[in-house]
Structure 1
């Protein structure tokens, strides 16, 4: 007969904090975590909340096993009473029986376990029989888990999930039965501190055979993920080994830690499954927000998508071309009409049409380029994330992408310059230029009159106009005309320089305003949704670290 006792493990503290973190995971997980995992997490939270509110002075130990393992006989042997029916009929135990050492405070716990009143038994005389070490034990004899009755099979599964300590009762013939190992042992790997394996009916084996079975069972359990299996050999018929099992149970009851350890084990198992959607521990932490470089990069990409540089350049060129009509020297404009149109060679006519189209709202952002800009932002933020969270960030970035091109176009329409806008100084300069033209024409008339009447003496002018026919005035009139021409040219050149400088400033102002508006749109329609998703991911990431303990 071999007995391996349960040690006193160093259990982690802060179960409440871990459960609180799991609550946040359940709240943050929809759409990012497998719904089955979220359902199991919610069920664990409910189970933990219920169990922690109930008696902490009682330890629920479930005897589980298949038909013919001697589970009920072992239950009766431990309790010292003939409480659970035994026999060869399948199944012998149709309903769970409970034996309680110390009934005070156990009622609500038994109600939670859904144990029927007629199947509850109290060991009121336990202290008289030297069983004080088991005070606080609630021992359950579960229905056979391999029962042909669906009702009992479901009840066994339910109580195996909620018991503080599960004692698997195996027999020498079926200790490697797949229905036990595949359905329960493998699934509950990692629950070493709250699981005991009893090889019952040891009286049927010779000592050498029993030792061989124990070794084989130990190897099998370790292969299935039970790192430190606790195996106790018993014989419910002869009573051999039952005291050893009682020692294990008494140690568990005395520490009053089984309920906490079971919940921790369930939480650990669930955490390992949840951890598959998290990056490795050595991976860089997820970004908490979008940095300035990425914000600028997104704005630059969106500016390119709506053609801000091209619009600015077109505006500058058209601004310069239109200024010629107002501030250029009239004679130069009239002379240019005799030459081919320079606009056709510069293709500024197309630029005018582009500005007119923008002003009329016909120019819009390119959806494909907008989508590429958003995709680049999302890809840069999701490196190392699980695919579910990568998709979440991308979806958040694209959440308003359908409306984004239209909103950008509307913003540009508001800020686009009006082609009909003429600065006031252009109008004043035009008046000045035509005044100079009139002065030059007047000079030409004066010169003609002086030549006709003062030089060629074709007639006599009225006395009031004699000064215009005086040949001596020709040098002065010529000087005046040259001065007018020079003043006109200088004015045109100076005005042109001012226009060029103003066009550049206007372009900068336009591009700056367009960029500001595009950045504002990007902030509200792309960056804010993404940062909310990043905040959700970071909170989930922190909750996962907390739930790991």
Structure 2
């Protein structure tokens, strides 16, 4: 086998493998009829390439009265196929095989009946060794009134490695041939031959005129360099030339590959039309668009509102621990702000807040997903863009509930308080105790030392000189308590701000994780699928 043959085979195999990838990845994205046709081509190519590469299948196709069977007999030099003039006589395909060894599976695939298979015996092959490996088929008339035979002709025209169209001088421009077959075989020049048969009925001038007219017609129908041979089974004109063409095809053993490549080349522009203006895309969603989606989902959930609520609740809760006790006791004389806010079961309140925020703004989530898909699908065909939108929205119904469930689990256990709150509360109550004790001593000294209401239990309780010092101590304790309350309030504000930032940061992280799993990963998977499809299509087109 030559290097050229090896390159052709490997090149065809590579393109067919790429086409199989296109068919696999294009499901739901390309025209189903086009994918079905590509699938049939792959099946036919797979079958043909597994069968005998030593044989070349040549089909003689033509309409009723074209002399196709007579030409078949003339080439084979045997009276194998019945001939007629006014009606279809070839009801079943006849095959003449030069070299039967290894041809059986191929003939079975072609569905040629055993009784219509003819082998050229060695004694008859003398001088025709160059045709060894030829399987010549005489097809039923393509315009037969019998639907079965017409279907068989169409099937074998699709399966043959080389097609010889047999035309007669009266009907060589027959629309049934040109519209149904010739036009569709544009680009198959290498594996198509046209025979103007029965030329014995024409004068030399008429023959030249018919040949020129036929060539012009074929060129108008897309064949760049059509091969046209004038023959006559009666006089033997052109039979040797046609035999030379067949022998050349058999010798090169490339007709099967050239036919499949031509079929592939014909399919490629139709696939390209489906991808008009398309180009590869980035397979991953960039950080900016990830962030934009996360921001939009956080807004839909109300992360900032939840964080602000938590910050306020943190401050309200701290009043019981770090506030100046006298102010807290005085506050009990008026309605409790915590009770008015009805925040007894904080966890349930926050869960309700998260759930209602998500449910209230589904349109914002929808817009965020839409903006993401529009940005990442620029350059993709409409069907693929729709596919990306579909996968991006595939779990959108689950997203609000998932966000609510995830964020509700973040509500902090507010029945526990920071340790420094405990220490500050002990300090505040110690100051209260000192303040009360100071006031008690001042009262005792006033009672025993100033107003002498009774005999003091100890001289200490009648020492009036202690009053200024005790007053100073009481004032200092009161001031120290107020200062502690103000300072602790500032610390609480700072701590509440940090707690809010921590909680919002954690919420954002979880929202980003949900967006990654439920939106971005399906989108990126579809983008990678599209890029694989686009790369595979590029390999088919080469």
State the Cα distance separating 1:308 from its structure 2 match: 1.1
* Bigger mean CA deviation after superposition, 58-67 or 397-406: 397-406
Instruction: State the secondary structure of the residue aligned to 1:187.
Output: helix
Judged with a 3 Å threshold, the aligned counterparts in structure 2 of structure 1 residues 104 and 359 are, in CA distance, closer, same or farther, namely closer
Q: 1:200 aligns with which of 197, 200, 206?
A: 197
Task: Please report how far the alpha carbon of residue 428 of structure 1 lies from its aligned counterpart in structure 2 after TM superposition.
Answer: 3.2
Q: Deviations over 1:98-124 (max 9, x none)?
A: 122223322222222111222222232
Tell me what 1:409 maps to.
404
Please identify, of 387-396 and 199-208, the stretch whose mean Cα deviation from structure 2 is larger: 199-208
1:245 aligns with 2:242: yes
Q: Deviations over 1:301-346 (max 9, x none)?
A: 22122111221122122322332343122344466788999999xx
Instruction: Assess if the C-alpha contact under 8 Å between 1:101 and 1:136 holds in 2.
Output: yes
- Classify the secondary structure of the residue corresponding to 2:424: helix
> More deviation in 437-446 or 500-509?
437-446
Q: Distance in 1 between matches of 2:211 and 2:349?
A: 88
Residues 8-407 of structure 1 mapped to structure 2, 5 A cutoff: 13-125=10-122, 130-278=127-275, 280=277, 284-333=279-328, 349=341, 357-359=349-351, 362-366=355-359, 367-407=362-402
CA-based RMSD of the aligned residues comes to 2.9
Task: Please name the residue that 2:453 is paired with.
Answer: 459
Q: Do 1:364 and 1:408's aligned partners in 2 also have CA atoms closer than 8 Å? A: no
Distance 1:496 1:128, change over 3 A: closer
How many pairs were matched up?
Answer: 534
Q: 2:441–2:461: 8 Å Cα contact kept in structure 1?
A: yes
- Distance in 1 between residues matched to 2:78 and 2:260, nearest whole Å: 31
- Unaligned 5+ segments in structure 2 are none
Deviation digits for residues 77-135 of structure 1, max 9, x if unmatched?
22222221111242121111112222332222222211122222223257765333322
- Counterpart of 1:523 in structure 2 is 516
Q: Which residue of 2 aligns with 1:3?
A: none
Tell me whether 1:426 sits opposite 2:421 in the alignment.
Answer: yes
What SS does structure 2 have at the residue aligned with 1:365? helix
**Could you tell me how far apart the structure 1 residues matched to 2:355 and 2:283 are?**
39
Which SS does the other structure have where 2:185 is aligned? coil
> Judging changes above 3 Å, is the alpha-carbon distance between structure 1 residues 445 and 472 closer, same or farther for their aligned structure 2 residues?
same
State the SS of the aligned residue for 2:36: helix
Distance 1:98 1:410 in 2: 73
Please give the secondary structure, in 1, of the residue aligned with 2:409.
Answer: helix
2:507 matched residue in structure 1: 514
Q: What secondary structure does 2:396 align onto?
A: coil
TM-score where L is the length of structure 2: 0.90
Is residue 134–residue 250 contact of structure 2 (8 Å, CA) maintained in 1? yes
Contact 1:101–1:126 (CA under 8 A) maintained in structure 2: no
Rounded Cα–Cα distance in structure 2 between residues aligned with 1:203 and 1:137: 27
